[in-house]
Amino acid sequence: MSGNTLHQKLPLLDRDHSILAFNERVMDWARRADVPLLERLRYLSIVSSNLDEFFEVRVAPHLTAARANEQRGPFTSLSYEQLSDKVHSLVAQQYAIYNDELLPLLEKKGIKLISHGERNPRQRRWVKEFFIKEVQPLLMPVGLDPAHPFPQVANKSLNFIVRLTGRDAFGRENEIAIVKVPRILPRFFRMPPVKGSKQTHFVSISSLIRSHLNDLFPGRQVTEFSQFRVTRHSDLAVDEEEVKNLRTALRKGLQQRHYGQALRLEVSAGCSVHLSNFLLEQFALTERALYRVPGPVNLVRLNQLIDQVEAPALRFESYSAGWPAQLTPGQSYFERLRQGDVLIHQPFESFDAVLGFLREAVEDPDVLAIKQTIYRTGAKSELMNLLREAVRRGKEVTAVVELKARFDEEANINYAERLESVGAQVVYGVVGLKTHAKMLLVTRREATGLRRYAHLSTGNYNPGTARLYTDLSYLTADDALTADLEQIFLHLASQNRLPKLNKALIAPFHLHKAMLDKVEAAGAAAKAGLDARIVLKMNALTDEPMARALAVASQQGVKIDLIVRGACILPAQVPGFTDNVHVRSVIGRLLEHSRVFYFRTGEVEELWLSSADWMNRNMLRRIELAWPVTDSALRHRIIDECLQAYLHDTKDAWLLRPDGNYVPAGANGNGRGRITLHSAQASLMALYGSKG
């Protein structure tokens, strides 16, 4: 079969359904009996957070197509119906796990969410007093009439809709009122302990308010009510070619983000048809967009309850990352890097070493300049404080700040302004392209002249996520690679033409074509009778040309293993198309985030690390970086820890079937038994965890 025929006939998997399949795999952790109980609850909240983002970012074009009754193209009425059916099924599974499994198990452990009907008189008195003192003063019910139209309801906010009998103070029969619940109010409150009882009781804000809705409408009677929550389109769209100041334009856009197009309406399972239809009409939504849930409308906020429970036995055993094996505490980073490159495998090894590298650069009087890309750094960033300190110490500091890092825009705008206020040079990359590459370049005066040192990473400069995401940090003083980084920073600041680079590959200029060329070269080698192998680890594979190139290489005899955590549009082991392709997804305690690309043709092997997934946006609409690992010891270590270990994972891995469904890697061929289970993450945590 020719490559062209294959391109025409190979059916790729749907990206959005693949994203939802990923969330099914995450939800499996909420079912697993070997996972601590509070962690199971947390995984359930993670699925809710992921679904929120799915609606905020992915659903709008499907809904728009459904309203226009589109029948052709990538977004149609049918695509919206199919996605809606899948999400409704996922949500039903979520709440079944929550109500039928987790809440009963928590109660057995002495942790109980007390509803109004279950409270004893003492608890009811406490709830009433708490409501009057702490909650009621912050609530402002709005009765709807021509002078009080339906209020603006913010994205993902908690609200109540109420139906009333009787007349208002002016003798009118306006029967509908809306009660907004301020975000400042916690969603769960810990109740005073009962003397002699070891149980821990909580009350939810929705239960607390619903118990006292009548108190908000004196002289009238509440006959129907429901909590509700609307999810809106939240992907900021700013025409960078048309704005004079991107930062100012984004600030204005952020103000409107909370009130974008309504996409989903969540209400209580018992909400009357009258009230749900009223809300659907207000938000211009159809019945398919309505989600009736038997519990809190926002399971993301379960994290607040989890954090208040004092039960270490119901959580993961704490893990303390070890100091990087290649670094000696107290030794100068610059001295160590002159001896060779250093790899840090996070979070098994500590991210503190990366901050230590920057801290030494800030404090070293011989360091003249620091250049860094900023994508996500976290709310309270020591890294940003270090850059400000570097400016105060007279160093030249250049920060390439990505203002359009989704849902981190406001934090990055604030950081940019703080850096500018002390005199740092702040630039926002290239118009129309997100700067997603992770680079830190230090220029130091030494006896032999100026020398550069660098940190490159597959992840973000965020100490918080660095404890939860698996990533690779790479420290180097390699002259050719650091010279490339100097040119890339110059390009981002000046937007001059990028010269030919020594080692690095950059998107959108070289990376896409280079990876396609490597796949095609492996295919040509296999066709010529040479041993050819491709192993790729990434978060997502959704770029069609790259997926089809892998399929062609598979047909030419290349053995291909893909370790793809999230969405993957390339079906595995489809007879006649992808017989040599195996796809696995590893969902573990930690979020898999590193990107590693391995190619072997005959006796020649290459290993690349990258900030980029194999997605169209990463390859063609972002500034992304990939760099080769040429040190043989480091290359073997990465292959062992990031590729081989995960290819042998049978505990946390899922295998993609030709039909697009995933099955646990630990299930045997007939599905009736299990094999010996091995977790790559658990092994690495045991290997590198702090022994102190």
Q: Where are the beta strands (DSSP E) in 565-643?
A: 581-586, 591-592, 596-601, 604-610, 622-628
The amino acid that residue 234 corresponds to is: S
Place of tokens 């043709």: 601
Judge whether 274 counts as a catalytic residue.
no
> β-strand 591-592 against 581-586: which pairing, if any?
unpaired
| Number of C-beta neighbours around residue 308 at 10 A | 14
CA–CA distance, 581 with 573 (Å, rounded to integer): 6
Helix (H) or strand (E) holding 446: strand 438-446
CA–CA distance, 163 with 585 (Å, rounded to integer): 48
Task: Tell me the backbone φ, ψ of residue 30, rounded to 5 degrees.
Answer: -75, -15
CA–CA distance, 140 with 179 (Å, rounded to integer): 6
Using CA of residue 638, residue 640, residue 646, residue 647, what is the dihedral sign?
Answer: positive
Place of tokens 């796990």: 97
Residue 399, judged by CB atoms within 10 A of its CB (0-12, 13-18, 19+), counts as buried
The DSSP secondary structure of 223-283, one letter per residue, reads EEEEEEEEEE-------TTT-S-HHHHHHHHHHHHTTS-EEEEEEETT--HHHHHHHHHHT
Helix (H) or strand (E) holding 344: strand 342-346
CA–CA distance, 431 with 412 (Å, rounded to integer): 17
CA–CA distance, 279 with 273 (Å, rounded to integer): 10
CA–CA distance, 389 with 434 (Å, rounded to integer): 27
Answer whether 190's CB lies under 8 Å from 306's CB. Answer: no
Answer whether 487's CB lies under 8 Å from 520's CB. Answer: no
The alpha-helical segments, DSSP class H, found in 268-422 are 273-282, 302-308, 333-337, 352-363, 382-392, 409-421
Query: How much is the CA Rg of the chain, to the nearest whole Å?
Result: 27
DSSP type of residue 644: I
Place of tokens 């609307």: 230
DSSP type of residue 313: G
- Residues 6 or more apart whose Cβ sits within 8 Å of residue 232: 56, 155, 156, 258, 259, 260, 261, 262, 263
The DSSP secondary structure of 515-559, one letter per residue, reads HHHHHHHHHHHHHTT--EEEEEEES-B--HHHHHHHHHHHHTT-E
Among residues 201, 233, 345, 436, the one annotated as catalytic is 436
Please tell me whether residue 453 adopts helix, strand or coil conformation.
strand
Strands of the sheet containing 200-204, edge to edge, are 111-113, 200-204, 188-190
| Number of C-beta neighbours around residue 132 at 10 A | 12
Place of tokens 């809300």: 279
CA–CA distance, 541 with 653 (Å, rounded to integer): 17
Active site (catalytic) residues: 436
